[in-house]
Chain A
Amino acid sequence: MKTEGKKRIWSEYQKNVPDDHFFYVRSCIRQSFFPGSEQVFLKILRDDLGKDVFEDPRHTTCTGIGYHGDVVPFETIQTVVARHFALATEAGYKNIAISCVTSFGIYTEILETWKHFPETLVKARENLFKATGRVFDLPETISHASDIIYKFRDEIAAKAKYALTDITTGEPLRIVEHIGCHYAKMFPKHGIGGAEFPHVLVGMIEKWGGSVVDYPERRHCCGFGFRQYLVQANRGYSLSSSKKKFESMEPYQPDMIVSNCPGCAMFLDRWQYAINEIDGITYGKDDEGIPSLTYEEMAALMLGYDPWEIGLQYHNVQALPLLRKIGVEADPEKRFISKDGSRLPEPAGLINNF
């Protein structure tokens, strides 16, 4: 079979993710809601895969939520991102690895803007130098952290202790994958599979033994909407979008949801709690909620990390039924403990707390 034509057709959906030497920038939302996900990402890259990942603690928020909340000007966020590039330049790194999907979208928007409006790059350099005395080189690559886990999905599979299969039936788990809108809807060429065929999570799920649920509202926004969640009066917008997705995925009885965006992972967990409180509804099989995980948590489970050390208990929809299906033995009594090892009071009203 001739494959040249096919390769050409699909070439624009490919992405070059570097093999090593990453400059890591954290996410405000991921470190504030799922701190274990960022920590275990670094452990997987460094300890399991032997990669060089550098983090400069002087990097700050990219100000992205302020930017999309329309209080931080474009010129300002360009300068903040330019400072991150300066820190990478000073440390000798050319590959940026970005934890947050909002940040990732902003980095792509800024690099594209600098390309099409070169005067904005000149201005960003001027602003940065005036404010900090720093200068920077443009990065050679930018990857979302999920791109990197995707790239090494075979290596992770080779080291995996568990699979995304139900150990009692041998069947693949049914998994909903949710891609954050700003990963590839704005600049498709920066995402694996682009906006039309996003493969970044599908590739992980299928490689690790799961099956992907294709449901009608698969590409609908989780509903964050920035100001639509940040301001209390607008939160119905956010809730409604997630509810639409839950109702659409419900007939397929998913075992879990996995997202590459930290905000999406959080909202698809929180709104299940709120809907359950308001209407008594759950969307999983047998009146269970559907655990909403980050892709780092999913990868870490495959590799045998302790679920409670990666922070899997800090979701309203607990993952206990999911862990039993996969065959992970984890004592629920050890979920909520303090630094000194003493037990902390268990939050009341958790979903799937059995």
Chain B
Amino acid sequence: MRDLFGLLMRDVRFEEGLNACMNCGVCTAICPAAEYYNYDPRRVVDIVQTRNNEAIEELLRSETIWYCGQCMSCKTRCPRGNTPGLVIMALRKLSQELGYFTDSEKGRQQFAIKRAIGGNILNYGYCVPSYAVDPMAHPEQGPVWGHFVEHLDDVIARCGGELNGAEGPLRKIDDDTMDELRRIFDVSGASEFFETIESASEAKADEMGLEFKKEGTDFEYFRYVYSTDNGEHQSEEIRKEAYENGR
């Protein structure tokens, strides 16, 4: 059996985030994810501190580790200085490095985040430039967003900038800078990490019999991981609260 606890301990966030949990449950009480999903950060910390590698592997392959929203409210409140949110970040990193993330519906979504946000960073030098937030894919952005994107050149000018200009908001990041950014990704492990997410996702798509493309977002596997919800991530109580007792 692999020493998964040992692998986690190589991540400074794990070392910093896990001291000694006394199971008080304050993290779960303050956690927005615990209100919405079948999620209990206290339980996650309790499992990893057992150092039981079988239990840790089960966690790495589970839906559970993908429910946290990383608000880090748990860090403020833990009386023992643990940070379940940091433990989660280390678990997610390892789950992807080992290819376990494709075993869960929520884990498979990492492929969509890599293609969308990872692509934006390496193509434009921004995580979420306006022109990459498609109003059709984001109906919740409302009518003002359709106008904003359609007239982006005018909008930026109205606010005192120049779209794709030399400086200011949504300036074009110059080629030399983009080269530096890509080299940083190469030397610091991001490029290799991206490849790991890609290859594990391609293998999963093949296993599921879904179309996969080497680039872009317009194909079956991307749409599947981006939009599928099996309806089993919330408890009956939470669903009832949300859909029946809500105003």
Query: In the complex, how many angstroms separate the beta carbon of B166 from the nearest chain A beta carbon?
Result: 6
How many residues on chain B are close to A (CB under 8 Å)? Answer: 90
Q: Contact partner of B75 among A74, A113, A186, A243, CB < 8 A?
A: A186
B227 in the interface (beta carbon within 8 A): yes
Q: Interface of chain A, helix or strand or loop or mixed?
A: helix
Q: Is B127 an interface residue (CB 8 A)?
A: yes
With both beta carbons as reference points, the residue of chain A lying nearest to B143 in the complex is identified as A347
Q: Is B186 an interface residue, CB under 8 A from the partner?
A: yes
Q: Does B117 lie within 8 Å of A66, measured CB to CB?
A: yes
Q: Is the pair A60, B69 in contact by a Cβ cutoff of 8 Å?
A: no
Give the residue name and chain of the B residue nearest to A247 (CB): B247
Is A185 part of the contact surface with B, judged by Cβ < 8 Å?
A: yes
Contacts of B141 in A (CB 8 A): 270
Give the residue of A226, A247, A348 whose beta carbon is less than 8 angstroms from that of B143.
A348
Q: Give A232 to B159 CA distance when docked, in angstroms.
A: 30
| Nearest-CB residue, chain A, relative to B229 | A233
- Residue A235 is within 8 A (CB to CB) of chain B in the complex: yes
**Would B142 and A316 count as touching, CB distance under 8 A?**
yes
Interface flag for B60 (CB, 8 Å): no
A60 partner, pick from B109, B125, B158, B228, beta carbons under 8 A: B125
Cross-interface CB contact of B113 among A131, A230, A313, cutoff 8 Å: A230
The answer to whether A240 has its CB under 8 Å from any CB of chain B is yes
Chain B, range 174-200, C-beta contacts under 8 Å to A: 174, 176-177, 180-181, 183-190, 193-194, 197
Q: Does B44 contact A (CB under 8 A)?
A: no
Please measure, in the bound complex, the distance between the C-alpha atom of A162 and the C-alpha atom of B236, giving whole angstroms.
50
> How many residues on A have C-beta within 8 angstroms of the other chain's C-beta atoms?
99
Q: Given known contacts A26-B169, A72-B118, A338-B154, is B127 in contact with A66 (CB within 8 Å)?
A: yes
CB nearest to B185 among chain A residues: A76
Instruction: Report B-chain residues with C-beta under 8 Å of the C-beta of A223.
Output: 32, 69
Q: Given A35-B169, A230-B113, A270–B140 Cβ distance below 8 Å?
A: yes
A80-B122 Cα distance, complex, nearest whole Å = 12
Interface-centre pick from B35, B106, B147, B246 (highest chain A CB count, 10 A): B147
Interface of B is mostly: helix
Contact of B184 among A39, A131, A186 (CB under 8 A): A131
Tell me, yes or no, whether B153 is within 8 Å of chain A by CB. Answer: yes
B11 to chain A: which residues have CB within 8 Å? Answer: 74
Task: List the A side residues contacting B69 at CB < 8 Å.
Answer: 221, 223-228, 237, 241
**In the bound complex, what is the Cα–Cα distance between A117 and B32 (angstroms)?**
30
Q: Which residue of A lies closest to B95 (CB)?
A: A70
In the bound complex, do residue A60 and residue B126 qualify as a contact, i.e. CB atoms below 8 Å apart?
yes
Q: Mark B88-132, 1 if CB is under 8 A from A, else 0.
A: 010011001000000000100110111011100100011111100
In the bound complex, what is the Cα–Cα distance between A337 and B158 (angstroms)? 8
With the chains together, A316 CA to B116 CA distance in Å? 25
Chain A nearest CB, measured from B180 CB (Å): 5
Q: What CA separation (Å) do A221 and B128 show in the bound complex?
A: 20
Also in contact, A225 and B143, with CB within 8 A (given A232-B226, A314-B155): no
Using a CB–CB distance below 8 Å, which chain A residues touch chain B? 26, 28-29, 31-33, 35-36, 38-40, 43, 55, 57-58, 60-61, 63-66, 68-76, 78-80, 83, 105, 113, 116-117, 120, 127-128, 130-132, 181-182, 185-186, 188, 195, 219-221, 223-228, 230-237, 239-241, 243-244, 247, 270-271, 273-274, 277, 279, 281, 308-311, 313-316, 336-339, 344-350
